[in-house]
Every structure is written in structure tokens, then in C-alpha cells.
Chains A and B, each alone.
Chain A
């Protein structure tokens, strides 16, 4: 395309814009983004969108196959489960438990973890190295194991699961912010603004922070995928959200007994979980790839 302005000067896009440019060039990343947006929309509007109440039992149509099956009915698009509850409504309503609550947990954990991580990253000396080792240890213990520990103390219930997930995610946030800051704070440009006499607060918020947004975004997607998986896994093990609630993991656990008769009660909630995790992972992965691409081309 010929350029209209004669005194044309190429403007370098800002780092975040560059990452966005790299990402929007990738069709899979965009598809994942839109899928996630749709899922979020569905989650927010699930109370109005569900065709039936998720707990309503239809005694006349128990274990109804999905509508594309020969014996299916269009009334129950995804069929019904062994108690005659509409699967579509349950999956939609379940997104609140399986996507909404993890999202909430991630936000809370980020609000607590990021400031602590920033403080830890700016500290130095023995304090910093002890903290580093401690965080390494916590991070090497799988999050599910820690969540199990919290559940074992408090007993299975929705609020305890939330507490467990938040408690598990906080060290992850601290660790990633800490190491991101740790990597940046010895760079020459930070040294330069230190020599300029900037305060530590200014250096943290104005100098270092813009440079660690990308790893932070990545950590958020990672934490979200961990939270969704852990809540579903706890539900599946019967230690999370308790039975009548339409949580996807709980639904999967329930389907275990009659998977031979009605496999769709297992396949469909699992697929919803898979789709959610896939779109988040693809998004996180393409953000990581875009960051790498930007660093490489710089």
C-alpha cells in the first residue's frame, strides 16, 4: 500500500500493542479469545438463558439421549440425566461454578499475591533468598495436593473449596511476580533510573511494572486454568462443590455410575470443561509465543 504522507515516519507500536499484533495474526488465538468471551457471556447470563431450572426433574423423560440421537427430543437439546434433569441447563448453570468461581478465586489471589510478590521482588539479601527457596518449595508441591490438605482440615463445601483454591494460587502469583521483578530489576535501564534518583515506589510502578505485564497476563491465564482444573477435580473426587449443584466435575463423578447406559452425561460436561480449558490454554500459549516473538524480533 503506498503511503499517503510524504514525511512518513514509521512508528514502533508499544510492547503491548506488538504482542496484540502478533496474537491477532494467529487465527487459533483469536478463536480461543472469542470462545472464551462467549463462555463468559454464557456464564454471566446463565440465569436467564437456561431453558429449564437446572434442578427441575422431569419424571417422564429420565436418561433421555441428546436431540441428535434417534430417541432424542428437541425439548432437551443435550438430553437429560438419570434424574430427568435437563443437561443443557445444568451445563449452562454449571459454568458459574466451573468458570465463574475459579475466575473469582484468581482475582482474589491476584489482588493478594501480586503486591506481596512485588514487595518480595524488591527486597534483597538473606530475606530475598530465603523467600526464594521457600516459594520454590511451595511451588513444587502440586496445587491439588495443597487444596486437598485445606479441604481435609475444613471439610468439603463450596466456600472451603474457594478458600483452598485462593490459598493455593497466592504462592503461585507471588512466585511469578517475584521472579519477573527479580529478572528485570538488575537490567541496565532500571539501574539508569535508580541513578536518576527515582524512588523505589516509582521504579516499581513506572519502570519495572510495564515490563512485566506480559508475564503477569500469562500467569493469570495459567492460574485460571489451574483453578478450573482443581475445582473440577475436587468436585469429581466428591470433595468440592456438593452434589445437587450442577458443577461440571461433580456431574462427571455422578455420570461414572451409569456411563454405560447414558454416556452423554459423561461426554457433554467433560467436553464443556475441555473447551474452557482449551481456549484458556491456547490463549495463554499464544500470549507466550507472542512475547517470545516480540523479544526475538527486538
Chain B
């Protein structure tokens, strides 16, 4: 296990390093001045531009340029926005918090609902409820996220008025974003209206979370159902039945852990899917997260912000994937045999 973990973490480091190389190359590929793209300082800013030229070792070879760029990146100096002239890194961290808040809630929701529903569908295989669950999940999976968000807005926000149309919190509450996650920010603040603010935040939160969780939810239902059906046909389940164990014990002790193995393996992929949907959802709901700022920066050709956002998202996805893989290998020992086996 230790050998495997080290190998995996090393690979993660190499991949992250390759990502920085890619970023460096992209700075050169993007239209406009490379140094401006990197630091966010325009050529018209005479003195600052010359200073930046020295900092980034601009006149020297590519290698030392990269080295300086890499050092800046490590120190959290990701340049400044071309539009707002604010530091990219300082801006991205609260955005990351806002994005993570949505993501974690959506993922949790889909796990909590999706896994039991999938298992239930599998047990009732070919029953009426199984067909309903599978039909609904396949249709819901095919609904493009942006259309679903629009439909939900039209229904819940415009027609029914159950939720505000966009944003994270009513600005009247005047909560300063620290972590970016509204709920944590409200709890951290000493505003006298914390209770009301929390209620308002939840009202803003539930619709995007629901829409965002639709894709992983439907996928998880399908994955769980298929995994459970597969497990239900295994020999060891027959053996467990022949020993006279009760059906509920078999479900909890034997079916669940084995089905979960397949589900856990898929979680990384689900997270990636969620990340591509969150870009769209954040834009529609005007959520101040990385996704919406990324899209905005593409419109505005604000390259330092754009690359900062891309790097953060990509690194987040890689980190989550590696974490899932490590957990998978730790929890399910027989997987490790496959990993070590030389074919």
C-alpha cells in the first residue's frame, strides 16, 4: 500500500508539474504580450513593466524564464487581473470556496439519494419502480444542464417565486467573504442578523445545488443499479444465502460493500463531470465561483485570471481523482493485487 501511495503521489506531482509547463507554454501561445499575459502588467505601465521584466527573467533563456515563472507560481504570486488590477491568487481563493460549497453539497446530495435509489431499483429489478427510476434517470441524464437550469429558474424562481433568480446572498446583509463559502462566512461573521442571513443564503443555495446534482445523481443511480445487479449474481452471494443469512444482513454486509467498490471507483469521473457542469451553472445563477469568473475572463481576454482559474480547476480535479484512487486501493485490498500484477 505504501509503495502504491508513493507511486501515485509522485505521479500526481509530475502531472501538476506538467500542468505548470503547459501554463507556461500557453502564456506564449495566447495572443498579446507574453509578460502581460503572465503578470497582468501592461506595457503602458512603464516602470512596473520593466520591473516585471526583471522579475520574470524576460530577456534570458526560456529555461530561466520558466524557472522564474514557476517560483512565482509557488509563492502564490499569480499576477494581477488585466481588468481589475487585483491579485489573481487572492481573488481565486474565495471563489474556490464558493465553488467547493456548491460541489460538495451537490455531490453529497447525489450520493445520499442516488445510492439507495440505485440499490432499491436493482433489488426490484424489472419491477415497475425499477422501470420508473431507470427511465427518469436516463431522461434526466440527457437533459443538458443549462436547459435544466433555465427550466428550473422559469418554474421555481419566476412562476412560483420560491427562490431568488441569481446570486449567493442578498448584498444587504453585508457579509465579507473570507472563505467564499456563504454558510461558513455567515457563521464566522458577527453580524446581528446571522439567522436571517443564513435563511437567505439557503434560499439562494437550494436551486443551484439541486440542478447541479442532477447529473451525478442520475449517473450514480445507474452505476449503483448496475453494480448491485452484478454483485447479486455473484457466487459468494449464493453461498451467503445457502448459509441461511437473512436478506437484510446480506444486503448490508455483502452487497453494499461490493457495490460500493464500483461506485467509489467512479466517483472521480463523476467529480470531473460535475466540474464541467458547474462552469455553466455558476454562469447562469451568477454564482461568484471559479467557473463564472473563468467564463467572464474569457470574454474579457483577461489571461492571468483565465489561466489561474484553469489551473485551479485542473489541479482540483487531479487531486480529487488521486484521493479517490488512493481511498479505493486502501479500502479494497484485492484491487492492489491487480495494480501490482505485471502483465
Contact = CB atoms under 8 A, between A and B. Distances in A.
A196 interface: no
Interface stretch (B76-84, B237-245, B291-299): B291-299
Nearest to B147: A270
Interface residues of B, number: 45
A142 B273 contact: yes
B269 A237 contact: no
Given A153-B29, A259-B154, A145 B146 contact: no
Residue of A238, A270, A280 with highest tally of chain B CB at under 10 A: A270
Interface stretch (B41-49, B110-118, B134-142, B326-334): B134-142
B268 A237 contact: no
Given A140-B269, A151-B298, A260-B158, A236 B138 contact: no
Interface in A126-171: 133, 137, 140-145, 148-149, 151-153, 155
A278 B142 contact: yes
A256 B280 CA distance: 13
DSSP class of B's interface residues: helix, strand, loop or mixed? helix
Interface residues of A, number: 42
A229 interface: yes
Contacts of B233: 296
Given A140-B269, A186-B343, A277-B142, A152 B11 contact: no
Contact of A141 (B31, B272, B284): B272
Interface in A101-145: 133, 137, 140-145
Nearest to B325: A136
B310 A232 contact: no
B276 A144 contact: yes
Contact of B138 (A144, A232, A273, A281): A281
Contacts of B321: 140
A266 B150 contact: yes
A145 B275 contact: yes
B26 interface: yes
Contacts of B317: 140-142
Contact of A281 (B142, B275, B276, B299): B142
B306 interface: yes
Contacts of A152: 30, 298, 303, 306
Residue in B30, B147, B299 whose Cβ sees the most chain A Cβ within 10 Å:
B147
Given A148-B294, A151-B298, A270 B142 contact: no
B151 interface: yes
Contact of B272 (A140, A249, A260): A140
A255 B151 CA distance: 12
A237 B280 contact: yes
A252 B306 contact: no
B272 A270 contact: no
Contacts of B150: 252, 255-256, 259, 266, 270
B276 A249 contact: no
A140 B30 contact: no
Contacts of B170: none
A233 interface: yes
Interface in B14-67: 15, 26, 29-31
A34 interface: no
A73 B112 CA distance: 48
Contacts of B298: 148, 151-152, 239
B313 interface: yes
A263 interface: yes
A82 interface: no
Interface string A259-284: 11001001100100110011011100
Nearest to A232: B144
B99 interface: no
A233 B280 contact: yes
A92 B87 CA distance: 47
B279 interface: yes
Contact of A274 (B26, B144, B275): B144
Nearest to A185: B343
B144 A266 contact: no
A280 B299 CA distance: 32
A139 B298 CA distance: 23
Most buried by B among A140, A232, A255, A266: A140
Interface in A31-54: none
Interface string B280-311: 10011000000000110011000100100010
A274 B147 contact: yes
A122 B119 CA distance: 38
Contacts of A145: 275-276, 279, 310, 313-314
B143 interface: yes
Contacts of A225: 142
B109 interface: no
Contact of A142 (B276, B283, B303, B343): B276
Given A260-B154, A274-B143, 15 more contacts: A137-B318, A140-B269, A140-B317, A142-B273, A143-B276, A144-B276, A144-B280, A148-B294, A153-B29, A229-B144, A252-B147, A270-B147, A270-B151, A273-B147, A277-B143
11 contacts: A140-B318, A141-B314, A141-B317, A148-B294, A152-B306, A232-B146, A237-B279, A252-B146, A259-B153, A282-B142, A296-B233
Interface of A: 133, 137, 140-145, 148-149, 151-153, 155, 186, 225, 229, 232-233, 236-239, 249, 252, 255-256, 259-260, 263, 266-267, 270, 273-274, 277-278, 280-282, 285, 296
> When A and B form their complex, which 6 residue pairs have the shortest distance between CB atoms, in order from nearest?
A142-B276, A270-B147, A144-B276, A278-B142, A277-B142, A140-B321
